[in-house]
């Protein structure tokens, strides 16, 4: 079948329009009107102009002496399918912001501004407004401005009410304060910051586990439902980490996303070092226990797919671990001393899991 042909038969002499082809310009304008007050709540120093121009304008704050821009882009993967199944769309935008701002944060960058991309087959203004309200909330939580985005209505590309999201964050860090991990050394401590659940990774596997176990999203799981636990938005660590960076005790940061604990920590380690992680150093939540048992997953699979309760890892000198933990806890984080940096043996993997 020719994909360029309309899904509806064309009647001879019929007057065509963009709306008849499946794209409603008026709906798009209505969405922009709804977005403007949401974006206005995220304004911060540096924003020039507002929503509606061809490009977003931003001036790097004047307090930076040698600013280095740090950029990140991401989506929320098949967690979107869960949002559709639950018909709950108010927090998926928080996930979108979190995935990008947490990434640029690990290099010491303060998030400055964010842009989003929303695409769908047919624009549902109310639903899209709900999604963008979550994006604006995520920007508020991370202190960055929502200065623009794109809404694309693409009939024939999506089925039914499906939509997709992408996000783009830009931050800045002083050149001499970039967190690179180069100063990490043997004996350093690893502090794990508690996650809010599965965040936005591993949902293709989660959906397989749901199907295999015949579990229902509305079934009770403690005081909540399984759906409640799975849709919980990704924790944003911006405020607590930026506050911790002021101590100048942070040597390295790792955002635990796709690849889990096993694959993400080595991204910040010098080649001659290994992170030794004690799996008994923090409690495993009921959710992760259920996922492992219901999916019959080996430990290694769990820790290279899911965050397993640790959403951000902070590396510091052992003598600073206690004070830095207190600093992080003072801004609302739950902190665990999850391991230490040791010398690497040969070409072994740079994450070593122990159970003691």
All structural domains of the chain: 25-177 (3.30.1330.10), 189-354 (3.90.650.10)
pLDDT digits (tens, 9 = 90+) for 46-93: 999 877 778 899 999 999 999 999 999 999 999 999 999 999 999 999
Secondary structure (3-state) at 57 = strand
* Distance in angstroms (rounded) separating the CA atoms of residues 61 and 84: 39
d(CA 232, CA 167): 19
For residues 13-37, give the mean pLDDT: 81
| Cβ–Cβ under 8 Å, residues 305 and 313 | no
Residues whose CB is less than 8 angstroms from the CB of residue 144 and which lie 6 or more positions away in sequence, other chains included: 42, 44, 97, 101, 111, 112, 113, 114, 169, 171
C-alpha dist (Å) from residue 209 to 129, 215, 216, 262, 309: 31, 8, 11, 21, 18
Q: How far from the centroid of its chain's Cα atoms is residue 217's Cα?
A: 22
The mean pLDDT of the chain is 93
Q: How far apart are the first and last CA of the chain?
A: 60
pLDDT value at 125 more than 90: yes
Rounded Cα–Cα distance for residues 232 and 142 (Å): 17
Tell me whether strands 189-194 and 335-343 are parallel, antiparallel or unpaired.
antiparallel
Residue whose structure tokens are 């693409």:
154
Q: What DSSP string describes 137-193?
A: HHHHHHT-EEEEEEEEE-BTTB-TT-EEEEEEEEEEEEGGG---STT--TT-EEEEE
- What is the H or E stretch that residue 213 is in? helix 203-213
* Axis-axis angle for helices 286-295, 203-213 (nearest 10): 70
Give 200-211 pLDDT, tens digit per residue: 999 999 999 999
**What DSSP string runs through 294-339?**
HHT--HHHHHHH--TTEEEEEEE-GGGHHHHHHHHHTTT--EEEEE
Residue 68 is predicted with a pLDDT of: 98
**Per-residue pLDDT reduced to its tens digit, 244-264:** 999 999 999 999 999 999 999
The helix (run of H) or strand (run of E) holding residue 224 is strand 224-225
Range scoring the smallest mean pLDDT among 10-19, 108-117, 223-232, 333-342: 10-19
Q: Closest by alpha carbon to 144, among 103, 89, 83?
A: 103
Q: Tell me the C-alpha distance between 341 and 186, whole Å.
A: 5
Measured distance CA(129)–CA(145) in Å, rounded: 17
Distance separating alpha carbons of residues 110 and 246, to the nearest angstrom: 12
Q: How confident is the model at residue 4, as a pLDDT? A: 32
Residue range 14-30: mean pLDDT, rounded: 78
List Cβ neighbours of 5 (8 Å cut-off, separation of 6 or more).
none
Instruction: Identify the pLDDT of residue 13.
Output: 63
Rounded to the nearest 5°, which phi and psi values hold at 209? Answer: -65, -40
pLDDT in tens, 91-103: 999 999 999 999 9
CA atoms of 149 and 167, how far apart (whole Å): 9
């Amino acid at each position: 079948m020719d994909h360029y042909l309309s899904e509806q038969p064309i009647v001879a002499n019929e007057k065509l329009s963009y709306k008849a082809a499946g794209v409603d310009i008026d709906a798009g304008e209505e969405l922009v009107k709804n977005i403007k007050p949401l974006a206005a709540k995220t304004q911060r120093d540096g924003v020039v102009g507002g929503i509606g121009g061809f490009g977003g304008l931003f001036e790097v704050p004047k307090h930076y002496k040698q600013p280095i821009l740090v950029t990140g882009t991401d989506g929320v993967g098949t967690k979107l399918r869960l949002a559709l199944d639950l018909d709950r769309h108010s927090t998926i935008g928080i996930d979108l912001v979190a995935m990008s701002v947490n990434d640029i944060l690990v290099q010491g960058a303060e998030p400055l501004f964010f842009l989003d991309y929303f695409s769908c087959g047919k624009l549902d203004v109310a639903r899209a407004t709900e999604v963008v309200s979550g994006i604006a909330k995520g920007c508020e939580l991370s202190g960055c401005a929502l200065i623009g985005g794109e809404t694309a209505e693409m009939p024939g590309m999506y089925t039914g009410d499906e939509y997709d999201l992408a996000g783009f964050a830009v931050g800045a860090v002083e050149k001499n304060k970039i967190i690179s991990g180069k100063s990490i050394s043997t004996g350093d401590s690893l502090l794990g910051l508690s996650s809010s659940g599965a965040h936005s990774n591993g949902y293709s596997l989660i959906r397989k586990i749901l199907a295999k176990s015949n579990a229902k999203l509305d079934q009770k799981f403690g005081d909540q439902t399984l759906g409640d636990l799975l849709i919980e938005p990704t924790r944003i660590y911006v405020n607590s980490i930026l506050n911790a960076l002021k101590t100048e005790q942070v040597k390295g940061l790792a955002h635990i996303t796709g690849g889990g604990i096993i694959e993400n920590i080595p991204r910040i380690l010098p080649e001659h070092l290994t992170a030794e992680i004690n799996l008994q150093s923090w409690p495993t939540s009921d959710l992760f226990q259920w996922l492992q048992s219901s999916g019959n997953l080996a430990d290694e699979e769990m820790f290279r797919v899911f965050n397993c309760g640790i959403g951000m890892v902070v590396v510091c000198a052992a003598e600073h671990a206690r004070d830095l933990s207190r600093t992080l806890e003072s801004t609302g984080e739950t902190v665990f001393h999850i391991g230490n940096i040791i010398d690497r043996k040969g070409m072994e993997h740079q994450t070593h899991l122990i159970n003691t």
